[in-house]
Amino acid sequence: MSEEREFIVGGTYNWYDQNVAAGIDLIEAFIEQCEISNSFAITEYHKYKQVEIEEYEHGASISTHFRLIDGDTFNAEEIMTNVFPNMNRHSTLVLIMSMFEKTLKNLCDRVNTLFELNKPFKKVKPSLLLSIKYYLTNEANLESNEILEKQWSDLMCLQSIRNNITHNFGYLEEGNKYVTRYIDNNKNLSLAEDNEFLLNHEFLKDLIPNFRSFCLELQQVIRDKSKRN
């Protein structure tokens, strides 16, 4: 598909430009704030941690405490620099995926009105995202292409990761070859030995260009269908 994008003012024809772009900008800002919070918490740890040294006849015991983290029980530095940031990114991914799914569900309602389908969106597949794809492809008859199919596939993998985070406390319980390939091909995403999802500080940021590109492709196929009608 050509990289040129026709600008049409108003309505669903201009769905991304008028209704989605600002929302994705807000998601991007939220992700940035997430990472700022992570960095600030690590800085606070190194600034305010309390180190206790308990000496014995034949040695000494050193423990580091930070706020409510008991250094006698936990490794405070590991928790503040790795565990909590990763949990924060897990939570952020769950939230932004929910926001993005809502955006796509609203698109189904707009498409139903635009093309006078008289077929309101219903969840007919096991997942909301799969139902949205089915509706746009089979009910609204929006033509797909190689780029869109790859983007849908990546989004489904993200949804699977989100579901595992939500229902299995951040660990991969069930996967398939697509999810495995998605993880293997993403330098910012990995699995720990116990199958916990490890998201580095770049993973969430890198989703934003993909969200934008995906929505622009959807906007274009809507315009293409409108021209054919």
The pLDDT of residue 57: 72
Query: Which pLDDT belongs to residue 218?
Result: 94
- Tell me the C-alpha distance between 1 and 221, whole Å: 10
Q: List all residues 6 or more positions away from 91 whose beta carbon is below 8 Å from its beta carbon.
A: none
- Cα→Cα distances 189→123, 180, 203, Å: 30, 11, 7
Cα 57 to Cα 54, 60, 64, 199, distances in angstroms: 10, 8, 21, 44
- How many other CB atoms sit within 10 Å of the CB of residue 208? 16
Query: Which helix (H) or strand (E) is 172 found in, with range?
Result: none
The predicted structure's pLDDT at residue 226: 82
Instruction: Give the contacts of 60 (CB within 8 A, at least 6 positions apart).
Output: 53, 54
pLDDT at 1: 42
pLDDT-flagged residues of the chain (< 50): 1-9
Rg of the chain taking only CA atoms, in angstroms: 23
| Distance, CA of 157 to CA of 151 (rounded, Å) | 10
pLDDT on residue 4: 46
Q: Of 202, 108, 203, whose CA–CA distance to 158 is shortest?
A: 203
Cα–Cα dist 34/140, whole Å: 37
pLDDT at residue number 228? 77
Cα gap 225→208, rounded to integer Å: 26
Q: Please, which residues bridge with residue 197 across strands?
A: 191
Burial degree of 190 (CB within 10 A; 0-12, 13-18, 19+):
middle
Q: What are phi and psi of 61, to 5 degrees?
A: -115, 130
Give the count of beta carbons closer than 10 Å to the beta carbon of residue 148: 21
The pLDDT of residue 81 is 96
